[in-house]
Structure 1
Amino acid sequence: MLGTSVARFKGVTEPVSTATPTAAELRLTRTLEECLHANNLYPSREEQRQRLNVLGALNAVVVEWVRRVALAQRLSEDVVEEHGARIFTFGSYRLGVNGPGADVDTLCVVPRFVERNRYFFGLPDEQGSRAPTQVVLADMLRQDDRTEELVTVESAYVPVIKIRFMGVDMDLLCAPIALMKIPKNFNILDDAVLRNVDDATQRSLNGVRVTDSILELVPDVDTFRTTLRCIKFWAKRRGIYSNVLGYLGGVAWAMLVARVCQLYPNATAAVVLSAFFRLYSQWQWPKPVKLCPIIRHQHAGLRQLKVWDPTDPRDRRHLMPIITPAYPSMNSTYNVTHSTLRIMMEEFARGQQICADVLAAAGSDGTGVSPRDWERLLEPSDFFARYKHYLQIEITAGNMDDLKKWRGHVESRLRLLVQRLEVLPPVSVHPWPEADERGTSVFFYFGLRLETDKIAREEGTKRARIDLNSPVESWLSTPDPRDTRSVPVLHWPERTPDMLVHVTPLKRAQLPESLRVQRKRPAETDPSAAAAPAALQVVTKKSRSTPDGASASLLRAPTET
């Protein structure tokens, strides 16, 4: 069950302010909402109705699927109709902040006799036997005329079917729970649903449980949604929206916003937005952000699940803990690195200053601000004009299907490259989460801030040397030191000889023309881009051979300033 400190407020502390909105604050929020609408962040009513129709149609397919599985297992006809299934949404759609064209995260909760591998994906059992296609959900959906695309990802951390159904992209998860039938009054927030489930089912249920818990723990859902919609758009524009690359994903941003809503339960969205930046620009990480007390009890008959614990050496290493509110409480941001935390703190400070300027310009009646004034907060990042040096990571494959799989593997390990680079004392790393796709290649870019003067002084030379080759080689060929079970980039079992990674240092002038933006002079944003007496030489190797003989380029010919 959800926890709150006391009945009269939501959260782990008393609110900072319970003041009701002034006329100026209401006016400010209207201008903020107009700005969000002008940026096309709201789906149309027609699109919302279409999503409801799609979910209804999908629910009918899932109910029929469970009925067929029950009959295949020779359950009586009378009993079959009672088993049922439930469809739940989670993520941005459930939170009510999805934009036009956004996908819908969906969970199927089914009785225990519906085995995920056998009946959801159609995988063979230990004897190599497969279930008939008419009782496999993936096959039923493939044969449905309303299905446009379908990909199964059975080996993912959270096993999923990715599908485009009736024109809507969906991620479909499956959670068989320890019940013979799913009752109509089924409560997914009851911890008892976790009894006797496997780890994949627990993680699948967790998406819905966390999303629903957040909605229960915010004092005003409309204010929360308006603020979160703005924060998500801001984070994407500023290049800090990516759980994989070490920034924050949607759930983490939602929890940060929800906590501010708890502290200002009666405030308007404009006030909550300003408080958001003021609070987190000063937050003393790794102090955790929590929406409710961490629950450590053991439900009767429920195995004790691992919860986040700051006294645990592994959890104590987390740099920016944001703790999920549903049992078992976990840190949603364990991927954050020193580099990405520094960048996010810089963006919080920028947001705080802009919001302060907007509020100051509003005047006592709020008439001094228009929707255009909020646009400064939402300006795109000048990442490709900010640095003099960049690192280009090119991911290539022989065809688009292979590229999709290979990209997923490499992208999931890019944060480990960030960690290896940031231990070089004179180098600051800024990973950019948006990929540049060109044919059967995908490119990622890291900005590098290099303290050339410091390096030259320490070496007593005019030419500073930085060896980027060692961290890149380590990233390509050795496991994550914190998880020796992880697979190094080039040792992925599914890798083919034409799946390659090329890592190349570039000057800003060498970036593709499509990426270069001239928002500011480089010297104004990156101290290393100013004229410096010391020249820089990036020490590299041209290539190395992988164990299977394929060539994977590391860092190409030396670059000098």
Structure 2
Amino acid sequence: MRTSEEIYHRVRWDTRFDPARFVLGVAQRGTVPKRVPLPRFTPGGDIPWHRVLFIEADGEVVWDRSSGVDRIDATEAGRVRAPRRLPSPYFVSRTPYAFSAPDAAWAPVSEDAPAPAPSSGPLTLLTWNTLWDRYDSDRIDTARRRPLLLDALRAADADVIALQEAEPALLALLSAAPWVREGYTLGADPAGRDVADCGLLLLSRVPVREAGLHALGPHKAVAAVVVDGPGGPVTVAATHLSSDHSPDGARRRDAELADLATGLAAVEGELALLGDFNDGGDTPQDRLGMTDAWSRVHGPDDRTPTFDPSVNPLAAVSSLTGRVSRLDRVLVRPEGLRPASAVLLGDVPAPDGLYVSDHFGVRVELAADAAEEAAETDPAEEARAAGIVRRVAAALPEGRVHLAGSRRMGCALPGADVDLVAALPGAVDLPGVRLRLAAALPDAEGPREVTGARVPGLRFTLDGLGVDLVTVATGDLTPAAAVSRRAELGGAAATALSAVSDAEAVLAAADPHRAAFTRLAREVKGWARARGLDSAPCGGLPGLAWSVLAARTAHESGDLPPLPLLRHFFATWAAWDWDRAAGLDRPEGPDGAADTVVPPLTVLTPTAPVRSCTTQVSPAGRDLVAEELFRAWEILESAPDSGPVPRAQLHAPPPLHARHAAWAIVSVRHGADEGRFRGRLLALLAALAEAGSPDAHAWPRPCGADASHVQYAIGLGRTPPDGARLAEIGARLLRGIPEAGLRRADRAQAPDLR
């Protein structure tokens, strides 16, 4: 029989065992043995080996001193069940904890429990040094700051939150917060000593596969979790290196970085390291061979500080030098993920001047990389879009603000709107929401209520991007549960909330080729925009429809190179029988019946309530889409596989002069009137079809504008109505839109549309 010391070291250093699943029974005088988790036991410490009476794994006794049991090699108990990404012995295993509502307590996450749906779309990470209360407690107003911090963390809407200088009191506040209990997993036991010992706390709302901790020295460590990210597992680690307040701080940081470089080199796959590095230069990323996400997004010359004693009184209290520095970083190992946005949090004080912490938080969005994406995306625009989401969420803290549409799917074209769905408790007071947003977003331009929508909404421009905000009243449901339980809220609300689940389903359906889907969807949507096929209000296909078709193509053939994959897309859908509905799975109609005839063209939404998202496409519109798909297919058939995508040919303007014998030019005022006109476009096209112009086609973008008015062009097809009939249609359908005008232009006066 081996000794307890031998068994301990066998478990601790043999990579086949998971130390987090072992417990030591330690003798106590006059009472039952004390149960000590093996990772918390200190060899050579206060407890001598002879007091270890038994060792359990997964509830099974694998070693027992009194009976002579020694069966650690004869059982599967305590064995690693899947290859670990946090290598042992560098990382000591920790057990993630999730809140159990039935038990009203935090409970270990069982390895056997079915995992939630994996993350789709970008992975958002947040790091924040929260300023603990150990020093200068009479000058930093912790009691008032903590509620501000919880509100800011909730509004950040991050998938993984990494906190430094966390304390048991902050852990208690977070673990009691309903939004944390409902949505997040803790990277360690909330009743354990990890937070008290090293001040690090990780929270994740995406599935946590494993967790671990490595001590760098007294009160210094690196904590890590492995989560489901876009395309697979991602290791997210958090650390807080020694500051110059520590004796010989620079030397200690150097040793800590050397330790990290050795340990993290053994971590396979995607890796992000977050935290306060207490170094304003490039040493951390250089020593670790990692990329600074902020520099990747904003450029290497951007030195925006995260610790600024010149503006933040809390930083002035703790600063030794008064130096402005970027101490807080998100470092990534550039593999399959790329930083898409990076923004500061907490850099604006509360109305009374109080800051959340002496450090600003850093929120970074990581997106799946693709070979050609860098040339097609604008990191600065993505950063602005992410900032808009954060600011709107902060303005509506009682609700849950979801990003939807192409930006959630990662396939937005330049200048695309930011589509948001806000689930708000109780009933929605839209004028009140508008006033609150106006107060919180004073730089928002042209805010207006959306009329004629199924649920209330607002449209405005912020930071140069259009924002489309839909509001949904959740009644007695919590906003956090609104998307998953949307059917309980009625048809209109369920449809609005399904914009969120639809985007997630499209990404999931593209597996295992999400990067290929992103690239393909952008190519297809760029082509559709150039050819005027991309606007549902104008009788074209919405972005969701093109994304559904691209996701299905990527799932089936995403291992093809970019040009052959694009060719396969057009070949598939050019030859499609549009008497059948198209969707992510087999053809079916909205009622679920296979091969249901749903003319003229139907693309189904991916999630309930399942419906057609192309009801606005007319028979002539279907014929036009089919014609354009065939044209693109023919162009790509003649292109060599090894060459670039022939975008100049694909995106050439359509032959509008040949398609239309005359035009209707509509002029409306900027702002709300333009929105009202676009809302009547389908009715206008239907009236033109009744008047003998079934092939009329509205160009989706303005063809001209001045300081007060904007112009749209409607091609009247090969058999346009005469001037009198056109005037009658315009007078009837533009009634109620002040200063709206319609004039006829013959072929020679056709506008130049791009």
Which TM-score applies when normalising by structure 1? Answer: 0.61
Contact 2:664 2:713 in 1 (8 A): yes
Partner in structure 1 of residue 501 of structure 2 = 209
Q: Which residue of 1 aligns with 2:333?
A: none
> Which position in structure 2 is the counterpart of 1:226?
519
Correspondence 1:143 to 2:449: no
| Cα gap change, 1:471 to 1:337, in 2 (>3 Å) | farther
| Residue in 2 that maps onto 1:549 | none
Match of 2:468, SS state, is strand
Residue 504 of structure 2 aligns to a residue in which SS?
A: helix
**How has the CA–CA distance of structure 1 residues 263 and 389 changed in structure 2, closer, same or farther, with 3 Å as cutoff?**
same
1:106 and 2:404 correspond: no
Q: Does 1:335 align with 2:616?
A: yes
C-alpha contact 1:416 1:475 (8 A) present in aligned 2:
no
Q: How far apart are the structure 1 equivalents of 2:400 and 2:588?
A: 26
Classify the secondary structure of the residue corresponding to 2:603.
coil
Identity among equivalent positions (%) equals 19
In structure 1, C-alpha distance between the alignment counterparts of 2:624 and 2:569, rounded to whole Å: 16
Deviation by residue 1:455-479 (Cα, 9 ceiling, x = unmatched): xxxxxxxxxxx865797478558xx
- Among 691, 703, 711, which residue is 1:442 paired with? 711
Q: Distance in 1 between matches of 2:588 and 2:654?
A: 39
Q: Is the 8 A contact 1:409 1:489 kept in 2?
A: no
2:630 equivalent in structure 1 = 349
Structure 2 equivalent of residue 393 of structure 1: 665
- Determine if contact 2:533/2:541 at 8 Å carries over to the other structure: yes
Alpha-carbon separation, structure 2, partners of 1:357 and 1:475: 44
**Displacement of 1:90:** 0.8
Question: What is the Cα deviation at residue 352 of structure 1?
Answer: 0.8
Task: Give 1:286's match in structure 2, choosing from 576, 579, 593.
Answer: 579
Q: Does the 8 Å CA contact 2:422/2:471 hold for their aligned counterparts?
A: yes
Report what 1:53 is aligned to.
Answer: 387
CA separation in 2, counterparts of 1:430 and 1:347? 14
Superposition deviation, residue 93 in structure 1? 0.4
* Cα 1:443–1:145 shift into 2, 3 Å: closer
Change in Cα spacing, 1:262 to 1:92, as seen in structure 2 (3 Å) is: same
Within the candidate set 372, 377, 387, 1:42 is matched to 377
Taking the TM superposition and a 5 Å limit, the aligned residue runs for 1:127-142 are 136-142=432-438
1:392 aligned partner, one-letter code: A
Distance 1:52 1:37, change over 3 A: closer
Measure the CA separation in 1 of the matches of 2:753 and 2:587.
46
Per the alignment, do residues 382 and 61 of structure 1 end up closer, same or farther by CA in structure 2, a change over 3 Å counting? same
Cross-structure match for 1:382: 655
- Give the equivalent residue in structure 2 for 1:501: 742
TM-score (norm 2): 0.46
Q: Which has the higher contact order (CA 8 A, sep 6+)?
A: 1
The equivalent of 1:159 in structure 2 is: 456
- 2:607 is matched with 326
Report how far residue 280 of structure 1 moved. 1.3
Partner of 1:510: 749
Query: 1:256-307: per-residue Cα shift (whole Å, max 9, x none)?
Result: 11121233253343332111111111111111112136999xxxxxxxxxx4
Over 3 Å counting, the alpha-carbon distance change for 1:58 and 1:261 in structure 2 is same
Q: Is the 8 A contact 1:417 1:472 kept in 2?
A: no
Structure with bigger gyration radius: 2
SS of the residue corresponding to residue 444 of structure 2 reads strand
- 1:109-165, CA deviations, whole angstroms, 9 ceiling, x for partnerless residues? 222x2x11x2xx13xxxxxxxxxxxxx221111123543222122542343111334
Q: Flag the 1:37–1:389 CA change in 2: closer, same or farther, 3 A.
A: farther
Partner letter of residue 200 of structure 1?
A
Q: 1:295 to 1:239 in 2, by over 3 A?
A: closer
Question: Shift of residue 345 of structure 1?
Answer: 1.1
Match of 1:162, SS state, is: strand
- In structure 1, what is the equivalent of residue 404 of structure 2? 90
The answer to whether 1:173 aligns with 2:456 is no
Q: Give the C-alpha shift of residue 227 in structure 1.
A: 0.2
Cα distance change, pair 510–402 in 1 and its aligned pair in 2 (3 A): same
1:26-76 Cα offsets, whole Å, 9 max, x none, are xxxxxx965x766xx3122x332333233223222211xx3xxxxxxxxxx
Q: Partners in 2 of 1:48 and 1:401 — Cα distance?
A: 25
CA distance in 2 between partners of 1:198 and 1:88 (Å): 19
Offset at 1:353?
A: 0.9
In the alignment, which of 224, 248, 253 is matched to residue 546 of structure 2? 253
| Aligned positions, number | 383
1:275 is aligned to 2:572: no
Answer yes or no: is 1:433 the counterpart of 2:700. Answer: yes
Change in 2 beyond 3 A, CA 1:376/1:330: same
Partner of 2:537: 244
